[in-house]
Chain A
Amino acid sequence: MTTPPADNFKQWSIPPESSAAQAIDAALARIGQHDSAVHAFLDVWSHDARRRAAEIDARRAHGDDAEPLAGMPIAVKDNICTRNGRTTCASRILENYRSPFDAHVIERLEAAGAVIVGKTNLDEFAMGSSTEHSAFGPTRNPWNPACVPGGSSGGSAAAVAARMVPAALGSDTGGSIRQPAAFCGVTGLKPTYGRVSRYGLVAFGSSLDQIGPLAADARGVAAILRAIAGRDPRDSTSVEEPVPDYVAELDKPLAPKRIGIPREYFGAGLDGEVRAAVEEAVAVFERLGARRVEVSLPHTDDSLPVYYLISSAEASSNLARFDGVHYGHRTAHPADYIDVYSGSREEGFGAEVKRRIMLGTYALSSGYYDAYYLKALKVRTLIRDEFLRAFEACDLLACPTSPFPPFRLGERTEDPLSMYLADAYTFGANLAGVPAISLPCGFTASGLPIGLQLMGPHFSEARLLRAAHAYQRETDWHTRVPPGMA
Protein backbone atom coordinates (compact mmCIF):
# COMPACT_ATOMS: atom_id res chain seq x y z
CA MET A 1 0.00 0.00 0.00
CA THR A 2 1.09 3.62 -0.43
CA THR A 3 2.11 5.56 2.64
CA PRO A 4 -0.75 7.63 4.06
CA PRO A 5 -0.17 11.40 3.94
CA ALA A 6 1.10 13.31 6.97
CA ASP A 7 -2.14 15.21 7.33
CA ASN A 8 -3.88 11.92 7.98
CA PHE A 9 -3.91 12.93 11.64
CA LYS A 10 -5.35 16.40 11.31
CA GLN A 11 -8.53 15.18 12.92
CA TRP A 12 -8.50 14.66 16.65
CA SER A 13 -11.33 12.20 16.57
CA ILE A 14 -11.82 9.65 13.87
CA PRO A 15 -14.49 10.83 11.44
CA PRO A 16 -17.65 8.69 11.50
CA GLU A 17 -16.98 7.33 8.03
CA SER A 18 -13.50 6.17 9.09
CA SER A 19 -12.46 3.41 11.47
CA ALA A 20 -9.98 2.87 14.29
CA ALA A 21 -8.47 0.10 12.19
CA GLN A 22 -7.75 2.59 9.37
CA ALA A 23 -6.15 5.03 11.78
CA ILE A 24 -3.91 2.35 13.27
CA ASP A 25 -3.01 0.96 9.85
CA ALA A 26 -2.06 4.45 8.73
CA ALA A 27 0.20 4.95 11.77
CA LEU A 28 1.84 1.56 11.32
CA ALA A 29 2.37 2.24 7.61
CA ARG A 30 4.08 5.56 8.33
CA ILE A 31 6.23 3.93 11.02
CA GLY A 32 7.18 1.25 8.51
CA GLN A 33 7.99 3.89 5.92
CA HIS A 34 10.06 6.30 8.02
CA ASP A 35 11.31 4.70 11.20
CA SER A 36 14.24 2.81 9.71
CA ALA A 37 15.82 6.24 9.09
CA VAL A 38 14.59 7.96 12.27
CA HIS A 39 14.68 5.18 14.89
CA ALA A 40 12.04 6.79 17.06
CA PHE A 41 10.67 3.43 18.25
CA LEU A 42 12.25 0.74 20.40
CA ASP A 43 9.24 -1.52 19.95
CA VAL A 44 6.16 -1.40 17.68
CA TRP A 45 3.02 -3.18 18.84
CA SER A 46 1.54 -3.92 15.41
CA HIS A 47 -0.46 -6.98 16.42
CA ASP A 48 -1.87 -5.65 19.69
CA ALA A 49 -2.66 -2.23 18.24
CA ARG A 50 -4.66 -3.81 15.40
CA ARG A 51 -6.50 -6.04 17.87
CA ARG A 52 -7.40 -3.04 20.07
CA ALA A 53 -8.56 -1.08 17.04
CA ALA A 54 -10.80 -3.95 15.99
CA GLU A 55 -12.36 -4.01 19.46
CA ILE A 56 -13.04 -0.28 19.29
CA ASP A 57 -14.62 -0.60 15.86
CA ALA A 58 -16.77 -3.48 17.08
CA ARG A 59 -18.06 -1.34 19.97
CA ARG A 60 -18.77 1.53 17.58
CA ALA A 61 -20.66 -0.85 15.28
CA HIS A 62 -22.84 -1.76 18.26
CA GLY A 63 -23.72 1.89 18.59
CA ASP A 64 -21.74 2.46 21.80
CA ASP A 65 -20.66 6.04 22.40
CA ALA A 66 -17.13 6.56 21.16
CA GLU A 67 -14.56 7.40 23.80
CA PRO A 68 -12.96 10.86 23.46
CA LEU A 69 -9.74 9.47 21.95
CA ALA A 70 -11.29 6.41 20.29
CA GLY A 71 -8.82 4.86 17.88
CA MET A 72 -6.14 7.53 18.28
CA PRO A 73 -2.68 6.01 17.77
CA ILE A 74 -0.29 7.03 20.55
CA ALA A 75 3.41 6.39 21.16
CA VAL A 76 4.75 6.07 24.70
CA LYS A 77 8.23 6.86 25.99
CA ASP A 78 9.88 3.67 27.16
CA ASN A 79 10.36 4.81 30.77
CA ILE A 80 6.58 4.56 31.28
CA CYS A 81 5.52 1.11 32.46
CA THR A 82 3.28 -1.00 30.25
CA ARG A 83 2.19 -4.55 30.94
CA ASN A 84 2.36 -5.14 27.22
CA GLY A 85 5.83 -5.51 25.74
CA ARG A 86 8.98 -4.43 27.53
CA THR A 87 9.83 -1.29 29.51
CA THR A 88 13.57 -0.78 28.98
CA CYS A 89 14.31 2.88 29.81
CA ALA A 90 16.73 2.45 26.86
CA SER A 91 19.07 0.70 29.32
CA ARG A 92 20.88 -2.63 29.15
CA ILE A 93 19.98 -3.17 32.78
CA LEU A 94 16.25 -3.34 31.86
CA GLU A 95 16.68 -4.78 28.38
CA ASN A 96 14.27 -7.66 29.08
CA TYR A 97 12.12 -6.08 31.79
CA ARG A 98 8.38 -6.64 31.55
CA SER A 99 6.38 -4.47 33.91
CA PRO A 100 3.83 -6.35 35.99
CA PHE A 101 1.54 -3.28 35.91
CA ASP A 102 0.45 -0.39 33.70
CA ALA A 103 1.29 3.21 34.58
CA HIS A 104 -1.64 5.40 35.59
CA VAL A 105 -1.39 7.36 32.32
CA ILE A 106 -1.61 4.12 30.32
CA GLU A 107 -4.80 3.11 32.12
CA ARG A 108 -6.25 6.57 31.48
CA LEU A 109 -5.31 6.68 27.78
CA GLU A 110 -6.71 3.22 27.13
CA ALA A 111 -9.89 4.04 29.03
CA ALA A 112 -10.23 7.07 26.73
CA GLY A 113 -9.98 4.80 23.69
CA ALA A 114 -6.42 5.62 22.62
CA VAL A 115 -4.39 2.80 21.07
CA ILE A 116 -0.72 2.50 21.97
CA VAL A 117 1.28 1.60 18.87
CA GLY A 118 4.70 1.30 20.48
CA LYS A 119 7.39 2.46 22.88
CA THR A 120 9.81 5.24 21.98
CA ASN A 121 13.53 5.79 22.36
CA LEU A 122 15.08 8.03 25.02
CA ASP A 123 18.34 8.86 26.69
CA GLU A 124 18.96 6.03 29.16
CA PHE A 125 16.71 6.56 32.19
CA ALA A 126 15.75 9.95 30.67
CA MET A 127 19.22 11.37 31.44
CA GLY A 128 20.31 13.42 28.48
CA SER A 129 19.43 16.09 25.95
CA SER A 130 20.00 14.34 22.63
CA THR A 131 18.75 10.71 22.79
CA GLU A 132 22.35 9.73 22.01
CA HIS A 133 22.62 8.13 25.47
CA SER A 134 20.29 5.28 24.50
CA ALA A 135 21.74 1.78 24.89
CA PHE A 136 19.90 0.87 21.68
CA GLY A 137 21.28 3.55 19.37
CA PRO A 138 20.36 7.19 18.80
CA THR A 139 17.20 8.64 17.29
CA ARG A 140 17.68 10.98 14.32
CA ASN A 141 16.05 14.36 13.84
CA PRO A 142 13.43 13.96 11.06
CA TRP A 143 14.32 17.46 9.81
CA ASN A 144 17.97 16.50 9.32
CA PRO A 145 19.25 13.00 10.07
CA ALA A 146 22.72 14.36 10.89
CA CYS A 147 21.21 16.23 13.84
CA VAL A 148 19.90 15.04 17.20
CA PRO A 149 16.16 15.18 17.97
CA GLY A 150 16.86 16.54 21.44
CA GLY A 151 16.15 14.56 24.54
CA SER A 152 15.45 12.80 26.56
CA SER A 153 12.02 12.25 24.93
CA GLY A 154 13.66 12.33 21.48
CA GLY A 155 11.83 9.25 20.19
CA SER A 156 8.41 10.63 21.12
CA ALA A 157 9.18 14.04 19.56
CA ALA A 158 10.58 12.51 16.37
CA ALA A 159 7.61 10.14 16.01
CA VAL A 160 5.21 13.11 16.13
CA ALA A 161 7.41 15.25 13.85
CA ALA A 162 7.45 12.51 11.19
CA ARG A 163 3.65 12.17 11.68
CA MET A 164 4.00 8.48 12.49
CA VAL A 165 1.56 9.20 15.34
CA PRO A 166 -0.62 12.21 16.10
CA ALA A 167 0.55 12.30 19.72
CA ALA A 168 2.98 10.76 22.18
CA LEU A 169 3.78 10.74 25.87
CA GLY A 170 7.10 11.96 27.18
CA SER A 171 8.52 12.75 30.59
CA ASP A 172 10.19 15.99 31.65
CA THR A 173 12.61 16.29 34.59
CA GLY A 174 14.65 19.27 33.36
CA GLY A 175 13.31 19.90 29.84
CA SER A 176 12.97 16.40 28.40
CA ILE A 177 9.60 17.06 26.74
CA ARG A 178 10.06 20.72 25.75
CA GLN A 179 13.60 20.66 24.37
CA PRO A 180 12.99 17.71 21.96
CA ALA A 181 9.63 19.27 21.02
CA ALA A 182 11.56 22.43 20.07
CA PHE A 183 14.25 20.49 18.19
CA CYS A 184 11.66 18.47 16.22
CA GLY A 185 9.16 21.26 15.50
CA VAL A 186 6.27 19.88 17.57
CA THR A 187 4.24 21.05 20.57
CA GLY A 188 5.06 19.61 24.01
CA LEU A 189 3.82 20.40 27.50
CA LYS A 190 5.34 19.80 30.92
CA PRO A 191 2.43 20.00 33.34
CA THR A 192 2.53 21.47 36.84
CA TYR A 193 4.30 19.15 39.28
CA GLY A 194 1.46 17.01 40.68
CA ARG A 195 -0.94 17.57 37.74
CA VAL A 196 -0.34 14.06 36.30
CA SER A 197 0.27 10.93 38.36
CA ARG A 198 3.80 9.56 38.22
CA TYR A 199 2.60 6.05 39.14
CA GLY A 200 4.41 3.77 36.71
CA LEU A 201 6.92 6.35 35.52
CA VAL A 202 10.37 4.93 36.24
CA ALA A 203 11.68 7.45 38.75
CA PHE A 204 14.61 9.73 37.91
CA GLY A 205 14.31 12.96 39.93
CA SER A 206 11.18 12.42 41.97
CA SER A 207 10.64 16.07 42.98
CA LEU A 208 10.98 17.19 39.34
CA ASP A 209 9.57 14.42 37.09
CA GLN A 210 6.29 14.94 35.23
CA ILE A 211 4.67 13.02 32.37
CA GLY A 212 3.25 15.14 29.57
CA PRO A 213 1.97 15.08 25.98
CA LEU A 214 3.64 15.88 22.67
CA ALA A 215 1.53 16.51 19.54
CA ALA A 216 1.61 18.55 16.37
CA ASP A 217 -0.40 21.36 17.93
CA ALA A 218 -1.95 22.69 21.14
CA ARG A 219 -5.25 20.95 20.40
CA GLY A 220 -3.59 17.53 20.37
CA VAL A 221 -1.71 18.31 23.58
CA ALA A 222 -4.96 19.46 25.22
CA ALA A 223 -6.79 16.27 24.18
CA ILE A 224 -4.12 14.06 25.74
CA LEU A 225 -3.73 16.18 28.89
CA ARG A 226 -7.48 16.07 29.48
CA ALA A 227 -7.27 12.27 29.52
CA ILE A 228 -4.23 11.87 31.80
CA ALA A 229 -4.51 14.73 34.35
CA GLY A 230 -5.97 14.36 37.81
CA ARG A 231 -5.40 12.91 41.25
CA ASP A 232 -4.31 9.30 41.61
CA PRO A 233 -4.07 7.84 45.13
CA ARG A 234 -1.08 5.77 44.02
CA ASP A 235 1.04 8.94 43.63
CA SER A 236 0.83 10.87 46.88
CA THR A 237 2.29 13.96 45.15
CA SER A 238 -0.52 14.11 42.59
CA VAL A 239 -2.85 16.94 43.47
CA GLU A 240 -6.58 17.13 44.13
CA GLU A 241 -7.18 19.99 41.70
CA PRO A 242 -10.13 20.11 39.28
CA VAL A 243 -9.26 19.12 35.70
CA PRO A 244 -10.72 21.62 33.23
CA ASP A 245 -11.85 20.53 29.77
CA TYR A 246 -8.59 21.65 28.17
CA VAL A 247 -9.98 21.19 24.65
CA ALA A 248 -13.08 23.32 25.27
CA GLU A 249 -10.87 25.95 26.95
CA LEU A 250 -8.82 26.42 23.77
CA ASP A 251 -11.37 28.53 21.97
CA LYS A 252 -12.02 30.96 24.80
CA PRO A 253 -10.58 34.44 24.23
CA LEU A 254 -6.85 34.87 24.84
CA ALA A 255 -6.76 35.70 28.54
CA PRO A 256 -3.10 36.59 29.07
CA LYS A 257 -2.78 40.32 28.66
CA ARG A 258 0.75 40.66 29.96
CA ILE A 259 3.55 38.61 28.36
CA GLY A 260 6.62 38.63 30.58
CA ILE A 261 10.03 38.65 28.89
CA PRO A 262 12.64 37.34 31.35
CA ARG A 263 15.78 39.23 30.35
CA GLU A 264 18.13 36.52 31.61
CA TYR A 265 16.78 34.18 28.91
CA PHE A 266 17.91 36.55 26.15
CA GLY A 267 21.53 37.09 27.23
CA ALA A 268 24.90 35.86 26.03
CA GLY A 269 24.81 32.29 24.78
CA LEU A 270 21.51 32.70 22.93
CA ASP A 271 21.79 31.85 19.25
CA GLY A 272 20.93 34.77 16.95
CA GLU A 273 18.44 32.92 14.78
CA VAL A 274 16.65 31.57 17.85
CA ARG A 275 16.49 35.05 19.34
CA ALA A 276 15.01 36.53 16.16
CA ALA A 277 12.34 33.82 15.87
CA VAL A 278 11.30 34.18 19.51
CA GLU A 279 11.17 37.99 19.26
CA GLU A 280 8.93 37.63 16.21
CA ALA A 281 6.66 35.24 18.15
CA VAL A 282 6.34 37.76 20.98
CA ALA A 283 5.33 40.34 18.37
CA VAL A 284 2.52 38.01 17.26
CA PHE A 285 1.17 38.02 20.83
CA GLU A 286 1.40 41.81 20.86
CA ARG A 287 -0.66 41.94 17.67
CA LEU A 288 -3.18 39.70 19.47
CA GLY A 289 -3.53 42.37 22.15
CA ALA A 290 -1.00 41.29 24.76
CA ARG A 291 1.32 43.78 26.42
CA ARG A 292 5.04 43.06 26.65
CA VAL A 293 6.42 43.29 30.20
CA GLU A 294 10.13 43.09 31.02
CA VAL A 295 10.76 40.86 34.04
CA SER A 296 13.84 39.46 35.75
CA LEU A 297 14.66 35.98 37.06
CA PRO A 298 18.08 36.75 38.56
CA HIS A 299 18.96 33.17 39.51
CA THR A 300 18.47 31.76 36.00
CA ASP A 301 22.18 31.03 35.63
CA ASP A 302 22.13 29.09 38.87
CA SER A 303 19.38 26.75 37.74
CA LEU A 304 21.83 24.46 35.91
CA PRO A 305 23.97 23.54 38.96
CA VAL A 306 20.90 23.44 41.22
CA TYR A 307 19.11 21.15 38.79
CA TYR A 308 22.07 18.80 38.33
CA LEU A 309 22.79 18.52 42.04
CA ILE A 310 19.17 17.83 42.99
CA SER A 311 18.27 15.57 40.07
CA SER A 312 21.50 13.56 40.34
CA ALA A 313 21.10 13.16 44.11
CA GLU A 314 17.54 11.92 43.63
CA ALA A 315 18.65 9.69 40.74
CA SER A 316 21.45 8.10 42.76
CA SER A 317 18.86 7.16 45.36
CA ASN A 318 16.14 6.08 42.89
CA LEU A 319 18.51 3.97 40.81
CA ALA A 320 19.76 2.06 43.86
CA ARG A 321 16.86 -0.31 43.18
CA PHE A 322 18.68 -1.67 40.10
CA ASP A 323 20.84 -4.16 41.95
CA GLY A 324 20.71 -7.37 39.93
CA VAL A 325 18.60 -9.06 42.62
CA HIS A 326 14.91 -8.56 41.94
CA TYR A 327 14.77 -7.73 38.24
CA GLY A 328 16.96 -6.54 35.44
CA HIS A 329 20.42 -7.59 34.36
CA ARG A 330 22.57 -9.71 36.72
CA THR A 331 26.28 -10.18 36.10
CA ALA A 332 27.06 -13.73 34.97
CA HIS A 333 29.78 -14.74 37.43
CA PRO A 334 29.66 -12.58 40.55
CA ALA A 335 32.78 -12.93 42.70
CA ASP A 336 30.74 -12.41 45.85
CA TYR A 337 27.47 -11.01 47.11
CA ILE A 338 28.50 -7.34 46.73
CA ASP A 339 29.59 -8.12 43.18
CA VAL A 340 25.99 -9.08 42.33
CA TYR A 341 25.23 -5.40 42.90
CA SER A 342 28.34 -3.64 41.65
CA GLY A 343 29.07 -5.99 38.75
CA SER A 344 25.46 -5.93 37.51
CA ARG A 345 25.31 -2.13 37.76
CA GLU A 346 28.71 -1.71 36.10
CA GLU A 347 27.61 -3.82 33.14
CA GLY A 348 24.03 -2.57 32.98
CA PHE A 349 24.36 1.22 33.17
CA GLY A 350 25.78 3.46 30.44
CA ALA A 351 28.33 6.25 30.90
CA GLU A 352 25.93 9.16 31.45
CA VAL A 353 23.84 7.27 34.01
CA LYS A 354 26.99 6.30 35.92
CA ARG A 355 28.18 9.92 35.80
CA ARG A 356 24.91 11.15 37.33
CA ILE A 357 24.92 8.41 39.98
CA MET A 358 28.50 9.36 40.88
CA LEU A 359 27.68 13.07 41.01
CA GLY A 360 24.59 12.46 43.11
CA THR A 361 26.31 10.05 45.48
CA TYR A 362 29.13 12.56 45.94
CA ALA A 363 26.69 15.42 46.62
CA LEU A 364 24.90 13.32 49.26
CA SER A 365 28.01 11.84 50.86
CA SER A 366 29.31 12.66 54.30
CA GLY A 367 31.22 15.94 54.32
CA TYR A 368 29.70 17.26 51.08
CA TYR A 369 25.96 17.15 51.82
CA ASP A 370 25.73 20.71 53.22
CA ALA A 371 28.04 22.22 50.63
CA TYR A 372 26.28 20.76 47.60
CA TYR A 373 22.89 19.12 48.14
CA LEU A 374 21.53 21.32 50.93
CA LYS A 375 22.92 24.42 49.20
CA ALA A 376 21.08 23.42 46.01
CA LEU A 377 17.79 22.94 47.91
CA LYS A 378 18.13 26.44 49.34
CA VAL A 379 18.85 28.08 46.00
CA ARG A 380 15.85 26.14 44.66
CA THR A 381 13.74 28.13 47.12
CA LEU A 382 15.11 31.38 45.69
CA ILE A 383 14.39 30.20 42.13
CA ARG A 384 10.82 29.16 42.92
CA ASP A 385 10.14 32.41 44.80
CA GLU A 386 11.39 34.56 41.93
CA PHE A 387 9.12 32.71 39.49
CA LEU A 388 6.13 33.34 41.76
CA ARG A 389 7.10 37.02 41.99
CA ALA A 390 7.43 37.26 38.20
CA PHE A 391 3.88 35.93 37.83
CA GLU A 392 2.61 38.86 39.86
CA ALA A 393 3.85 41.16 37.08
CA CYS A 394 2.75 39.06 34.10
CA ASP A 395 0.29 36.33 33.09
CA LEU A 396 2.84 34.14 31.39
CA LEU A 397 6.51 34.16 30.47
CA ALA A 398 7.79 33.86 26.90
CA CYS A 399 11.36 32.84 26.04
CA PRO A 400 13.33 30.41 23.88
CA THR A 401 12.98 26.71 24.76
CA SER A 402 16.66 26.00 24.09
CA PRO A 403 19.53 28.49 23.65
CA PHE A 404 20.51 26.93 20.32
CA PRO A 405 18.95 24.93 17.46
CA PRO A 406 19.46 21.15 17.04
CA PHE A 407 23.13 20.18 17.06
CA ARG A 408 24.85 17.38 15.19
CA LEU A 409 25.22 13.86 16.55
CA GLY A 410 28.48 13.51 18.47
CA GLU A 411 28.97 17.26 18.79
CA ARG A 412 28.42 17.41 22.56
CA THR A 413 28.85 13.85 23.85
CA GLU A 414 32.50 14.31 24.89
CA ASP A 415 31.86 17.34 27.08
CA PRO A 416 28.99 16.71 29.53
CA LEU A 417 28.72 20.39 30.52
CA SER A 418 28.18 21.51 26.93
CA MET A 419 25.34 18.98 26.66
CA TYR A 420 23.81 20.17 29.93
CA LEU A 421 23.60 23.73 28.52
CA ALA A 422 21.01 22.56 25.96
CA ASP A 423 18.46 22.67 28.79
CA ALA A 424 19.59 25.94 30.39
CA TYR A 425 16.16 27.54 29.77
CA THR A 426 14.02 24.59 30.80
CA PHE A 427 15.36 23.70 34.29
CA GLY A 428 13.57 26.64 35.92
CA ALA A 429 10.03 25.34 35.36
CA ASN A 430 10.90 21.97 36.93
CA LEU A 431 12.62 23.55 39.92
CA ALA A 432 9.65 25.91 40.48
CA GLY A 433 7.12 23.17 39.64
CA VAL A 434 5.28 25.40 37.15
CA PRO A 435 3.84 24.26 33.80
CA ALA A 436 5.59 25.12 30.53
CA ILE A 437 4.92 24.47 26.86
CA SER A 438 7.17 24.51 23.80
CA LEU A 439 5.72 25.25 20.38
CA PRO A 440 7.26 25.72 16.94
CA CYS A 441 8.01 29.39 16.11
CA GLY A 442 10.23 29.23 13.04
CA PHE A 443 13.21 27.65 11.36
CA THR A 444 16.90 28.37 11.00
CA ALA A 445 18.31 29.23 7.57
CA SER A 446 19.37 25.59 7.29
CA GLY A 447 15.81 24.39 7.92
CA LEU A 448 16.00 23.30 11.57
CA PRO A 449 13.04 23.97 13.91
CA ILE A 450 13.07 26.63 16.64
CA GLY A 451 10.90 26.43 19.75
CA LEU A 452 9.10 29.11 21.76
CA GLN A 453 8.61 28.36 25.44
CA LEU A 454 5.67 29.71 27.46
CA MET A 455 5.62 29.28 31.24
CA GLY A 456 2.75 30.03 33.60
CA PRO A 457 1.87 29.85 37.30
CA HIS A 458 1.01 26.54 38.96
CA PHE A 459 -2.03 24.84 37.33
CA SER A 460 -2.28 27.37 34.48
CA GLU A 461 -2.17 24.67 31.75
CA ALA A 462 -5.45 25.90 30.22
CA ARG A 463 -3.99 29.41 29.90
CA LEU A 464 -0.77 28.11 28.30
CA LEU A 465 -2.70 25.94 25.85
CA ARG A 466 -5.05 28.80 24.98
CA ALA A 467 -2.08 31.08 24.27
CA ALA A 468 -0.38 28.38 22.19
CA HIS A 469 -3.60 27.75 20.27
CA ALA A 470 -4.10 31.49 19.62
CA TYR A 471 -0.54 31.67 18.28
CA GLN A 472 -1.08 28.62 16.08
CA ARG A 473 -4.18 30.20 14.55
CA GLU A 474 -1.97 33.11 13.44
CA THR A 475 0.99 31.04 12.22
CA ASP A 476 1.59 27.81 10.32
CA TRP A 477 4.95 26.63 11.74
CA HIS A 478 3.21 23.72 13.50
CA THR A 479 1.78 22.45 10.18
CA ARG A 480 5.19 22.05 8.53
CA VAL A 481 6.34 18.49 7.91
CA PRO A 482 9.98 17.37 7.46
CA PRO A 483 11.29 17.06 3.89
CA GLY A 484 10.25 13.83 2.23
CA MET A 485 7.66 13.05 4.91
CA ALA A 486 4.56 14.82 3.61
Chain B
Amino acid sequence: MSARVDPDTVRHIGRLARLKLSDAEVERFSTQLSAILDYFEQLNRIDTSAVEPTAHPLPVRNVFRDDHPIEPLGAERILANAPRSEAGCFALPKVLDQQGA
Protein backbone atom coordinates (compact mmCIF):
# COMPACT_ATOMS: atom_id res chain seq x y z
CA MET B 1 0.00 0.00 0.00
CA SER B 2 1.32 3.41 -0.90
CA ALA B 3 1.73 5.51 2.21
CA ARG B 4 0.40 8.72 0.69
CA VAL B 5 0.32 10.17 4.18
CA ASP B 6 3.48 8.91 5.87
CA PRO B 7 3.93 8.99 9.67
CA ASP B 8 5.95 12.22 9.56
CA THR B 9 3.15 13.93 7.62
CA VAL B 10 0.61 12.61 10.14
CA ARG B 11 2.66 14.10 12.99
CA HIS B 12 2.91 17.42 11.13
CA ILE B 13 -0.88 17.52 10.52
CA GLY B 14 -1.42 16.51 14.14
CA ARG B 15 0.61 19.52 15.27
CA LEU B 16 -1.38 21.83 12.97
CA ALA B 17 -4.64 20.38 14.35
CA ARG B 18 -3.38 20.54 17.95
CA LEU B 19 -3.83 16.81 18.50
CA LYS B 20 -1.17 15.11 20.63
CA LEU B 21 -1.28 11.77 18.82
CA SER B 22 0.10 8.56 20.29
CA ASP B 23 2.50 6.47 18.17
CA ALA B 24 -0.27 3.92 17.65
CA GLU B 25 -2.60 6.67 16.38
CA VAL B 26 0.09 7.98 14.02
CA GLU B 27 0.46 4.51 12.48
CA ARG B 28 -3.28 3.97 12.23
CA PHE B 29 -4.02 7.39 10.71
CA SER B 30 -1.15 6.98 8.23
CA THR B 31 -2.77 3.80 6.90
CA GLN B 32 -6.38 5.01 7.06
CA LEU B 33 -5.85 8.51 5.66
CA SER B 34 -3.75 7.06 2.83
CA ALA B 35 -6.54 4.64 1.92
CA ILE B 36 -9.18 7.38 2.10
CA LEU B 37 -7.16 9.80 -0.03
CA ASP B 38 -6.35 7.04 -2.56
CA TYR B 39 -10.09 6.51 -2.94
CA PHE B 40 -10.62 10.26 -3.32
CA GLU B 41 -8.13 10.34 -6.24
CA GLN B 42 -11.14 9.66 -8.49
CA LEU B 43 -11.91 13.38 -8.42
CA ASN B 44 -8.78 14.04 -10.49
CA ARG B 45 -10.34 12.57 -13.63
CA ILE B 46 -12.96 15.38 -13.61
CA ASP B 47 -12.08 18.46 -15.64
CA THR B 48 -12.94 21.43 -13.46
CA SER B 49 -10.81 24.01 -15.28
CA ALA B 50 -13.91 26.04 -16.22
CA VAL B 51 -15.91 25.44 -13.02
CA GLU B 52 -16.41 27.95 -10.23
CA PRO B 53 -16.18 26.59 -6.67
CA THR B 54 -19.37 26.42 -4.58
CA ALA B 55 -18.95 27.38 -0.94
CA HIS B 56 -22.70 27.57 -0.22
CA PRO B 57 -25.58 25.76 -1.88
CA LEU B 58 -27.78 28.87 -2.16
CA PRO B 59 -26.73 32.26 -3.50
CA VAL B 60 -25.23 33.99 -0.48
CA ARG B 61 -25.61 37.72 -0.12
CA ASN B 62 -24.40 40.03 2.56
CA VAL B 63 -26.73 40.17 5.54
CA PHE B 64 -27.00 43.33 7.58
CA ARG B 65 -28.81 44.00 10.79
CA ASP B 66 -29.61 47.19 12.62
CA ASP B 67 -26.73 48.30 14.80
CA HIS B 68 -28.43 48.31 18.15
CA PRO B 69 -27.19 46.80 21.39
CA ILE B 70 -28.59 43.47 22.54
CA GLU B 71 -28.52 42.05 26.03
CA PRO B 72 -25.28 40.07 26.47
CA LEU B 73 -25.27 36.70 28.23
CA GLY B 74 -23.13 38.07 31.04
CA ALA B 75 -19.73 36.95 32.30
CA GLU B 76 -21.12 34.74 35.02
CA ARG B 77 -23.10 32.50 32.67
CA ILE B 78 -20.24 32.30 30.20
CA LEU B 79 -17.61 31.49 32.82
CA ALA B 80 -19.86 28.81 34.34
CA ASN B 81 -18.43 26.30 31.83
CA ALA B 82 -14.78 27.35 32.16
CA PRO B 83 -12.40 24.60 33.32
CA ARG B 84 -10.89 27.29 35.60
CA SER B 85 -11.69 30.94 36.11
CA GLU B 86 -10.34 33.68 38.32
CA ALA B 87 -11.53 37.24 38.89
CA GLY B 88 -14.00 37.09 36.01
CA CYS B 89 -11.40 35.74 33.56
CA PHE B 90 -10.56 32.37 32.01
CA ALA B 91 -7.58 31.04 33.95
CA LEU B 92 -4.73 29.14 32.26
CA PRO B 93 -1.39 27.72 33.43
CA LYS B 94 1.53 30.16 33.56
CA VAL B 95 3.46 30.31 30.31
CA LEU B 96 6.81 31.91 31.11
CA ASP B 97 7.74 29.81 34.16
CA GLN B 98 7.40 26.63 32.18
CA GLN B 99 9.55 27.58 29.19
CA GLY B 100 12.15 24.88 28.62
CA ALA B 101 10.58 22.69 31.29
Contacts and interface: CB of A to CB of B under 8 A. Distances in A.
Given A309-B40, A345-B19, A417-B35, A100 B54 contact: no
A96 B79 CA distance: 13
Interface residues of B, number: 53
B13 A361 contact: yes
B88 interface: no
Contacts of A434: 57
A301 B42 contact: yes
Interface stretch (A66-74, A122-130, A325-333): A325-333
A339 B52 CA distance: 40
A479 to B, nearest CB: 34
A432 B57 contact: yes
B3 interface: no
Interface string B24-44: 010001001101110110111
B53 to A, nearest CB: 3
Interface string A338-354: 11111101100100001
A305 interface: yes
Contacts of B92: 325, 337, 340
Contact of B98 (A299, A316, A336, A379): A336
Q: How large is the interface on A (under 10, 10 to 19, 20 to 34, 35 or more residues)?
A: 35 or more
Contacts of B63: 236
B43 A362 contact: no
B52 A357 contact: no
Given A101-B73, A324-B83, A416-B32, A379 B58 contact: no
B93 to A, nearest CB: 6
B93 A334 contact: yes
A346 B81 CA distance: 19
A10 interface: no
A106 to B, nearest CB: 16
A93 to B, nearest CB: 11
A335 interface: yes
A212 to B, nearest CB: 15
Given A337-B93, A377-B54, A100 B80 contact: yes
B17 interface: yes
A395 interface: no
Nearest to A433: B57
Contacts of B58: 192-194, 237, 239, 433, 458
Nearest to A99: B81
Contact of A207 (B10, B57, B83): B57
A381 interface: yes
A358 B33 contact: yes
A340 B74 CA distance: 25
A98 interface: yes
A375 interface: yes
B87 interface: no
A304 to B, nearest CB: 8
A341 B18 contact: yes
Contact of B46 (A302, A323, A326, A342): A302
Interface of A: 97-98, 100-101, 192-194, 207, 233, 236-237, 239, 299, 301-302, 305-306, 308-309, 316, 320, 323-330, 334-343, 345-346, 349, 354-355, 357-359, 361-362, 365, 372, 374-382, 384, 416-417, 431-434, 458
17 contacts: A100-B78, A237-B56, A305-B43, A325-B82, A339-B20, A342-B18, A343-B20, A346-B19, A346-B22, A354-B25, A355-B32, A359-B33, A361-B17, A362-B13, A378-B53, A381-B54, A434-B57
Interface of B: 5, 9-10, 13-22, 25, 29, 32-33, 35-37, 39-40, 42-44, 46, 48, 51-58, 60, 63, 65, 73, 77-78, 80-84, 90, 92-93, 95, 98-99, 101
